[in-house]
A and B are shown apart, each in its own frame.
Chain A
Amino acid sequence: MSSNSATLWLRPFLARPVALAGLGVLLATVLAAIFAPWLSPYDPYAIDPLIRLTPPNVTHWFGTDQFGRDTLSRTIHSARMALLIGSGVVVFALATGVPAGVLSALFPRLGHLLMRMVDVLMAFPTLLLALGLIVILSPSVATVILAIGIGYMTTTTRIVYGLTLRLRAETYVEASRSMGAGAAWLISRHILPNLVSPLLVQASFVFAFAQLGAASLDFLGLGAPPDIPSWGNMLAESRTFITRAPWLLFFPGMMIVATAFSLNLVGDALRDRLDPRLRQVFGEKG
Chain B
Amino acid sequence: MWSYAFKRAGTTAVTLLAASIIIFAFIHIVPGDPIYVLLGDTATPDQIDALRHQLGLDQPIILQYLTWAGHVLEGDLGRSIFFQAPVLSVIADGAETSTLLATMTMIWVAVIGVPIGMIAAVRHGTWLDQGLSGAAMLMASIPTFWVGLYLILIFAAWLGWFPSSGYPSIFEGGVVNLRYLVLPSLALAAPNAALILRLTRASMLDVSREDYVRTARAKGIRPWQVVRRHIWRNALLAVVSAFGFTFAALLSEAVVTETVFALPGIGRLVVQSILRRDYPVIQGVILVIVVVYLLINLIVDLSYRLLDPRVELQ
Contacts and interface: CB of A to CB of B under 8 A. Distances in A.
A216 B15 contact: no
Interface residues of A, number: 43
B302 interface: no
Interface in A203-254: 208, 212, 215-216, 219-222, 235, 239, 242-243, 246, 249, 253
Contacts of A215: 143, 145-146
Interface string B270-301: 11001100010010001001100110000000
Given A120-B19, A135-B282, A260-B141, A242 B274 contact: no
B79 interface: no
B306 interface: no
B252 interface: yes
The interface centre, meaning the residue of A18, A132, A235, A283 with most chain B CB atoms within 10 A of its CB, is A132
Contact of A125 (B153, B201, B251): B251
A199 to B, nearest CB: 21
Q: Interface on chain A toward B: helix, strand, loop, or mixed SS?
A: helix
A23 to B, nearest CB: 15
Contact of A222 (B16, B19, B30, B274): B274
Given A216-B145, A253-B143, A124 B286 contact: yes
B88 interface: no
Interface stretch (B70-78, B98-106, B132-140): B132-140
Q: Is the interface of B mostly helix, strand, loop or mixed?
A: helix
B252 A127 contact: yes
Interface of B: 11, 14-16, 18-19, 22, 26, 29-31, 121, 124, 134, 137-138, 140-146, 149-150, 152-153, 157, 198, 201-202, 205-206, 248-249, 251-253, 255-256, 259-260, 270-271, 274-275, 279, 282, 286, 289-290, 293-294
18 contacts: A116-B18, A117-B18, A120-B18, A124-B286, A125-B251, A127-B256, A128-B252, A128-B286, A131-B255, A134-B274, A208-B141, A212-B141, A216-B255, A221-B275, A256-B142, A256-B146, A261-B138, A261-B141
Closest 8 CB pairs of A and B: A125-B252, A260-B141, A261-B141, A253-B146, A120-B18, A286-B205, A128-B252, A285-B202
